[in-house]
Amino acid sequence: MVRLNLLLCSAVLLGAVTINGSTFRVNVESGSVTVIQKSSMAGLTITDSGTISTGDSLIVPMGSSARINLEESSRLHCKGPINCGLNGDNISLKINLDGEGQIFLDRKKPYTLGWIEIASKGFLFRPIGTSAAIKTAGNGNPSTAVLDGKMNMQSPQGEVLIIEKGNFGTVDSDGKLTSGRLPPKAVESLQRWIKSEDTSGSTTPAPSSQLQQNSPVVLEVAQAEPVSTQASQSSADQPQSTAAASGANEKSGSNNDAAEGDAEKTDDNSTDRSSNAAPSSSPKWEIGAGLVTVDNEQWTRIALGVDVPIWKFGVFFDLELFVDADGKISDKGWNFKDDWFEALTRKIRYIRFGQETDPLFVKVGGLSDVSLGYGFLVDRFTNMLHYPDQKLLGLQFNLNDLTPIGLSLQTVVADFKDFRDDGGVLGARLGVKPLKMTQIPILGGLNIAASYAVDLNQYAPARKWDFTLPQDKWDRDQDGITDSTYLYNMYSKTDIYDQIKDVHRRSGDLDTIIEHKDKWASREEDQYGLIGGDASLPLISSKILNLDLYGQAGIRDDGKHGWGIGAPGVALKLAMFWANIEYRRVEGRFTPGYFNTWYLDERIIRNYADLAGTKISIKEDRLHDDDLNGIFGRLGFNISNVLVIDGSYQYMVGKNRDNTDQRFEVTGAIGDLIIQKVPKINMLEAYYTKTEIGNYVLLTDVKGKDYYDKFFDETPFMYYGYRVGFEITQGASLIWDWRFGYKTKNDGKLISNNFLTVQTAITF
């Protein structure tokens, strides 16, 4: 569920008369405004009426409002603080918005302009016979509320959403467009406001009581939103092309897209973050019930949540009750005696200050889609792979585009509770735009950044492993460890015995062939850290075409051999098509995007149990110590908002042709243009991803030969799934989210690791 604060303008458009195709009449409704003339750059203050031409800008300060008469029956009302820049010719008009104010466009026939386009922060709004409000935000994304007609809303990444009559359109925390129904009271308020202003006269100010009634209203809109796992790219200077691809591929990530995660997304999707807006001060409640996967079993979860907004802060308290597979009430999340910290932190879904695009953003709790730069070190990382079974206490702390050199800082902590197990996954990126003040074309947009990411102990998860091994017929003392005596009798006349003796000698254990490797792993420590950097240069920046040149690199920080580069790289965005491609070279034990979406599952793996015992491998050990070269590419497109496809592929090969670094992922979703026409369906998407293709040992024969996986073989590095959202009624939604995967048991054998949530959530 998504709750959205949408600040709608309260204004009226009256008696518009166009002077000619490129000059328009301006009427001041309250206060005073300033027209900055393109020809002379002089500022002309208007307190009653005047004119504005294409190329000029209209500055409306706080507390003032004005009306631009666009066509015979079309009017644009502007409420400060906002800057409206007009560009175009006799047949077209583009309105550029900046500031924290709002406009209301009321367009009626006869049309004299071929088209009108409104732009704000890279988002485009194209009205289709529309009466609609558009709200801008100084540090957030714009939004729209459509009273009549339709509005075509397009994101900087090329995603398009058609906002129908009676709906709102906005941007969620992952940068994706979303829409929902305006509450009846909001529609009535807008209609009453427009009607009263239309009958009040074009120049006569409304009485004070009327102005009070029609002042900006904060609307609380509850909607079932098809959110994705997601994050959006949290860097303020993240290149748009890459952000577009990341946003689409994020769907294949964490499971916070289910109804349980929606409430977290809810607050991140608030569109009204301006300092002069009246934020919501009333708590929002959510009741949820459904099936979730806990320890590979299907349990029932009943939850009561409340989101408490306080100024720019947001706190979501989460009370939950689990019923296990046997029908018994579990103490999961309520065991204060044995682990009070875990029990306490499960009661808070997140604590947040600001939004990711604000100058200051802080979030504690669940994280999704966190990338540093172009993702060479940290690529769409999440700590919500197994939410709500696991609730990890992560942190994002961002400073965005500060100082004249565009200083930006990103930091991420995966889970503070990991520190208790001598572990912790951390990352940071510091970027600057050194030539920003010069305003030199192209070079002024140069961005340079340095990054660092580290896993303090890749063996940390083993601290919580179950050390009970299955018994077998060769375990004489029933301690879960195969005895050497029985192995000797079994294999004394085969060549495998020489291998057994070597293992026996190395272990130093006279009673057994191997040590209990699970217990060994629970005591082991191994850190893996990376230092990186990236640079990007925007070659072309326009509403139709964006082309960036970039490069990135990384190296290990522990003195071991391992480094890589991704350069040159080119990122392209053309309308509803986006792509990027880069050459990659790696030497030693290194792979791009090491800390990826699935990292917390892949950092340590129990592999197939052969005659030498369970193989435990950390991600670092599974990297080839070789020189690899290859290509990484990403491709995505939105076909008329009917079908959205996004995917990426990497193939690098080493000097030893058997050594490869291959990965593939693809996401497909039915677009909103179709979804809006299908009754009761509000989300339909599927995804597939697999990494470390060809590197996983499926089987080791008696001669010690390893057999590796092929492209579609089941491994712990393969995930696929689908999501379907059903609207039960207004304010209630059912979301079916099923992710398929694999893991290894205590004995090292591969088993299913599926994750299912079937959740009904109601907000009020």
Paired sense of beta strands 545-556 and 562-574, if any: antiparallel
Q: How far is CA 88 from the centre of its chain?
A: 35
Banded pLDDT at 282 (limits 50, 70, 90): low
For residue 568, what pLDDT is reported? 94
pLDDT of residue 664: 95
Q: Is 121 left (phi over 0), alpha (psi -120 to 50) or beta?
A: left
The closest of 379, 306, 763, 707 to 566, measured between CA atoms, is: 379
Does residue 428 have a pLDDT over 90? yes
Element (H, E) at 86: strand 82-88
How far, rounded to the nearest angstrom, does the alpha carbon of residue 214 sit from its chain's CA centroid? 36
Length of the chain: 764
Other CB atoms within 10 A of residue 91 CB: 11
- 63 or 399: which carries more pLDDT confidence? 399
- Which helix H or strand E contains 345, and what residues bound it? helix 340-345
Q: Each residue of 300-334: pLDDT tens digit?
A: 888 888 888 887 888 888 888 898 888 889 888 89
CA dihedral of 120, 124, 126, 132, whole degrees rounded to 10: -40
CB 102 within 8 A of CB 82: yes
Phi, psi dihedral angles at 248 (to 5 degrees)? -75, -40
Confidence grade of residue 18 (pLDDT, cut at 50, 70, 90): very low
Tell me if 625 sits within 8 A of 586, measured CB to CB.
no
Segment 212-254, tens digit of pLDDT: 333 333 333 333 333 333 333 333 344 333 333 333 333 333 3
Tell me the DSSP string of 192-225: HHHHHHHTS-SSSPPPHHHHHHTS-EEEEEEE--
Write down the pLDDT at residue 191.
Answer: 67
pLDDT value for 747:
60
Which pLDDT score is estimated for 279?
Answer: 39
Q: Which of 563, 536, 689, 569 is nearest to 628 (CA)?
A: 563
Q: Which residue has the tokens 């950044």?
A: 449
Residue-wise pLDDT for 166-212, tens only, equals 888 888 766 788 888 887 777 776 666 555 444 444 333 333 333 23
Tell me how far the alpha carbon of residue 363 is from its chain's centroid: 14
User: Does residue 514 register a pLDDT over 50?
Assistant: no
Task: Look over the chain and give the mean of its residue pLDDT values, rounded to a whole number.
Answer: 76
Task: Give CA–CA dist 276/407, Å, rounded.
Answer: 26
Quote the CA–CA distance of 307 and 314 in Å, as a whole number: 7
Give the per-residue pLDDT at 192: 63
Where residue 482 falls among pLDDT bands split at 50, 70, 90?
low
Q: Is the peptide bond before 110 cis (omega within 30 degrees of 0)?
A: yes
- In the chain, residues under CATH classification 2.60.120.1440 are 2-202
Q: Return the amino acid letter for 353.
A: F
Given CATH 3.90.1170.50, say whether it is the number of domain 2-202.
no
